[in-house]
Structure 1
Amino acid sequence: MRRLLPMAGATLALLLVTSAAQASGCIASKPGTGLSADEASAVYDCLKDALLDGYRQGDKRWIPGDYVDSFRLWERASRNPAFSPAHGGRHLLTYVNAAGARDYLRFSDSDVTMPVGTLIAAESFSVDERGRAQPGPLFLMEKVEPGRSPQTDDWFYMAVAPNGSPMVMDVISACSACHQGRFGQRGGLGYPPVEARAVPVPASGGQPE
């Protein structure tokens, strides 16, 4: 994917395997589609060091390296990893930087205008039908200046493979068309499922609903 073309207690049994052939070494007790929140969190705890180490490897080319280095310091928008069929059947854990955190964490379903400079990151992993967990890409969205990328509602989409390589893809069809088609009424924002969301920020003071 070229950035110059803006893209649009867990009881889970985990086994650490040292074989080089097993990329993650993390084994779940059931397929990914059946994982509870606690079980998905346990898989993530097993994978999280490998995920970050992988994303940080190598030259990021058109993707700013500080996005990859710092995303875990941003605000967590997810309480736990959540299954996303739209992202290849992976579990995602979502973060948003300070520029966009307050607006994003309202999880509004309409009339959302994100500030320029908003960055959203989602690290991911998959769990196959035998419970074998594998690192997935780091997905990134950046809100840019009005008119800079009208085809994607002024979002750049980027992705880093588990080995740290920038991913090349058609960002219009692979990213923007899905986000705008499903979430156009809220500025193309995809949110974690309701049950996995961090505590929303109230629109104007008081306590969250």
Structure 2
Amino acid sequence: MKRSLIVIGAAATLIAAFVAGAYFYTARQNAEVTTAAQSVDSPFKRVGTPSMGNPDAKVEITEFFDPACEACRAFYPHVKRLLGEHSGKVRLTLRYAAFHEGSDYVVKLLEAARLQGQEIYLKTLEATLSAQPMWAEHGRPQPQKVWDALASTGLDIERARRDMERPEIAARLQQDTADIVALKVRQTPTFFINGKPLRNFGQDGLSFQLREEIAASYP
């Protein structure tokens, strides 16, 4: 009996230590992100990043996004709906985190599409996400197949193939990679709202924290 109580007590102590460790790690990480956000070279103040919504909105969702990520695909309609519900008050900035094999190719394609205008970019983005199961199968990605899904987007495909290799696109992706390291982004999607990490991951957590930030920014 005594022995079992000792084992239970030891297990409880280990769990408490783990929870405390996780809490302090998260608190330290959040403090580091806040410091980075307020720095002169803030990762949240990059010129030329893809965005949607009112550019003068007081509330900004920053999403680190991988076009091969199933969770990013699942979140996209929800994020788009939030932009519509809070029209004029919220903008979305997309940053690329090409963690999956083959997704760096598709990221360059998306940036090449953006050179053809915002409407073409959004159509290409949505067609790419819709076709994700076709080209982004885990373990056997075939990113070249994504072109087959873009015929109805209006994208000038030959131009996009050339533009993918433009040096400014490579430079933008290098900047995203550096900011991923600075902000300790380890998974996609990762969201920040006005530079603050998402407290509770999930669609409800995103919606709740967004409403909080809107209420604070538009009293």
TM over 0.5: no
Give the structure-1-normalised TM-score. 0.24
Larger Cα-atom Rg: 2
**TM-score normalised by the chain length of structure 2:** 0.23
